[in-house]
Structure 1
Amino acid sequence: MTSAAVPSDRGERTLRELSDLITPMAIRVAVTLRIPQRISATAATAAELAADTNSDTDVLERVLAHLAGAGVLTRDENGRFGLTSLGTQLLIDDGRPEFLDLTTVVGRAELSFVHLLDVVRSGDVVAYAARYGTSFWADLGEEPSSAVQFDQVMADGMKKRVDEIAVAYDWAALGRVVDVGGGNGTLLVGLLRAHPTLRGTLLDRDAGPATRALDEAGLSDRATALSGSFLEPLPPGAGGYVLSRVQSDWSDADVRIILGHCADAAGAHGRVLVIDEFTADEGADTDTETDLRMLMYYGGKERTLEQARELAASVGLTPRSIRRAADWTIMELGASGPARR
């Protein structure tokens, strides 16, 4: 066995693990081909797995052999592959397979990281567009199944928090809210259920999923969904305009546009509610993986509360209250004077 397979120095091995692209891509290929599911109950040979997945036997065997050497798979004396305890983690339904499956919207976006050097050098290259020749959002518009996948990923995160968001703020006092970029309606449905007098409108690129969700929840008499873009003027006159996990997906310039449209629609008496997982201050720990994903997928960033306040102030909005909801924050904004857009 060579030193490349078993490095003599633990520090060297750790550095290789941190910088290696081979194992992460091999894992992604295995997940995309559903290899973990295929061998979870019964071990199988590369030939059997290749036949099941319409793959080349020799190449697949070499990939699986590498994963066996990496401790993800087992391989017996008959060449049959199974899962190690580490490999069984690929079966856990907690969202990780979404990032590893190259056919999903998130798995596809992960490949944009090959352009990280271009982004670092330029500061303004959006990696997804550099790889695919179009923006992440334009891609969603062209592929309905990808849009459904993306909305579900966002909804899964919201489901863990919607009940606490619903009780952390007096939503009913707003009368009517517009959920700006509300996806498939998970948040709006939760707010309406918790506040029987509240009415709502949801605006997103495709109103279909939210319309179905409102109908299924029996809430279509109190809310409606509209197809549109928050980069354009919004329906005016609601008591509140909600931006939930929206601002981190966009550049500073685009966030100013989005907040500006919310401010214009809310007017002097309405409120803009920004719900996000803000970093408390510049020195606090932040989710660096998510921050880099925001950068590479969309040209966005995970912002501190102070950075969010500065963007709001640039369009004439000032914080009225800050509330915690689960591990997220609700920042209530109101008009502070003439906008500086």
Structure 2
Amino acid sequence: MSDLITPMSIRVAVTLRIPQKIAAGRLTAQALAADTNSDPDVLERVLLHLVSAGVLTRDDGGWFGLTRVGDQLLVEDDKGVNPDFLDLGTVAGRAELSFVRLPDVVRNGTIVAYSAQYGSSFWEDLGKEPSSAAHFDRVMAEGMKKRVQEIAESYDWGALGSVVDVGGGNGTLLAGLLRAHGSLRGTLVDRDAGPATRTFRDAGLSDRAEALSGSFLEPLPLGAGGYIVSRIQSDWNDAGVRTILGHCADAAGTRGKVIVVDEFAAEEGVRTDSETDLRMLMYYGGKERTMEQVRELAADVGLSVTSLGRAADWTIMELSSTAM
């Protein structure tokens, strides 16, 4: 329970691409050190620890190999970024190290650990690293792909006429809604419009969809029938969520809808995913919220729940202006 040595050794190995290099035939500590510009003695000592931890093997000739556990570290995307956020060269990998600030956060709940550790926010650093941003979008999109069809079928999106996907990433959700509802038009707003523009073009949806570079912390395009907030509310503190929902409410006016599409924490007070909840806290100062907590934040900006629907394990919460 006190071991930080093995997790850090694994992260170093992943960052240096040791599993991939072993799989490619660089089997000795000397060869691996030369290929990674590392100190041979120190690297060998780390690798020997990974042997004792069951991640690597080593034969009598000093050649290293991968165990079944080590084989799992070979999984990577087309940019060579480990999807489990083990690579310390990425924003997400560095974010894990912000957990050294957990005692400070426990004592002072207003500290955002990532910002305290690095002097800038997770989102600022993500914006500076295109490869990390692309990886982040892909991870989010993979989770959405599993649910987009059910989300599209579980609400009458076509009746809205047009929607704005607020912070919609690479456009996976919006593209799925447009494919399922032929009369629907959509706009996506996110920090970088490029990935979503490519998604819409590749799906043949450019005539009904556009992507705009912008921030949901600023005013949004006016007059759409619906404003979608999906997988965002847990990434921000209460003030941030109020700002996002407030901009949606202002843009929707009295006729439009604000639609939160998300998986909420259990109402009985036990976090359904405590690891994710703590990551939200440390990375962004956010939290995994219950449906009632989101309802209360929405009420603070003049929105009330008008309908609730289910799409597998997710909820579709429709909000409307209380000024109607």
TM-score with structure 2 setting the length: 0.94
The equivalent of 1:292 in structure 2 is 278
- 311-320 or 176-185, which deviates more: 311-320
1:50 to 9, 30, 33: 33
Higher mean C-alpha deviation, range 252-261 or range 285-294:
285-294
Match of 1:66, as an amino acid? H
Q: Which moved more, 1:92-101 or 1:214-223?
A: 92-101
Cross-structure match for 1:239: 225
When structure 1 is superposed on structure 2, of 101-110 and 34-43 the one drifting more is 34-43
2:178 aligns with one of 192, 205, 220: 192
Contact 1:203–1:228 (CA under 8 A) maintained in structure 2:
yes
Distance 1:221 1:97 in 2: 33
Q: Measured at CA, do residues 144 and 96 of structure 1 come closer, stay the same or move farther in structure 2, by a change above 3 Å?
A: closer
> The residue matched to 1:191 in structure 2 has which SS?
helix
The alpha carbon displacement at 1:88 in A equals: 2.0
Measure the CA separation in 2 of the matches of 1:283 and 1:149. 32
Amino acid at match of 1:52: D
Q: Which amino acid aligns with 2:15?
A: T
Q: Would you say 1:118 and 2:118 are equivalent positions?
A: no
Superposed, 1:136-175 pairs within 5 Å as 136-175=122-161
* 1:128 alignment counterpart: 114
Report the residue type matching 2:296 in the other structure: E
Q: Residue 43 of structure 1: CA displacement?
A: 7.1
Separation of aligned partners in 2, 1:317 and 1:194: 27
Secondary structure of 1:44's aligned partner: coil
Extract unaligned runs of 5+ from structure 2: none
Residues 158-216 of structure 1, C-alpha deviations (whole Å, 9 max, x = no match): 11211111111111111000000111111111111111110000011121221122112
CA distance in 1, matches of 2:89, 2:260: 32
1:149 deviates by: 2.0
For 2:91, the equivalent position in structure 1 comes to 105
In the TM superposition, what is the alpha-carbon distance from 1:96 to its structure 2 partner? Answer: 6.3
**Equivalent-residue separation in structure 1 for 2:83 and 2:8 (angstroms):** 13
What secondary structure sits across from 2:196 in the alignment? helix
Per-residue CA deviation, residues 252-277 of structure 1 (Å, 9 max, x unaligned), is 00100110111111111211111111
Instruction: Report SS of the residue matched to 1:235.
Output: coil
Partners in 1 of 2:171 and 2:83 — Cα distance?
Answer: 24
- Counterpart of 2:42 (choices 36, 56, 59) is 59
TM-score, scaled to structure 1:
0.89
Paired residue secondary structure (1:99): coil
Name the SS for the 1:200 alignment partner. Answer: strand
Tell me if structure 1 keeps the 8 A contact 2:271–2:277. no
Quick one: which of 262, 274, 281 aligns to 2:267? Answer: 281
Q: Distance in 1 between matches of 2:311 and 2:23?
A: 38
User: Letter of the aligned partner of 1:145 in structure 2?
Assistant: S
**Secondary structure at 1:86 match in 2:** helix
Amino acid at match of 1:72: V
1:264 aligned residue (225, 235, 250): 250
The residue matched to 2:85 in structure 1 has which SS?
helix
The alpha-carbon distance between structure 1 residues 141 and 96, as it changes in their structure 2 partners (threshold 3 A), is closer
Write the distance in 1 (CA, Å) between the matches of 2:225 and 2:266.
27
Partner of 2:8: 25
Paired residues of 2:222 and 2:251 also in contact (CA < 8 A): yes
Instruction: Give the Cα–Cα distance (whole angstroms) in 1 for the partners of residues 84 and 26 of structure 2.
Output: 24
Unaligned runs of 5+ in 1: 1-17
Number of equivalent positions: 321
Instruction: Pick one of 76, 101, 105 that aligns with 2:59.
Output: 76
Picking from 189, 199, 212, the partner of 1:226 is 212
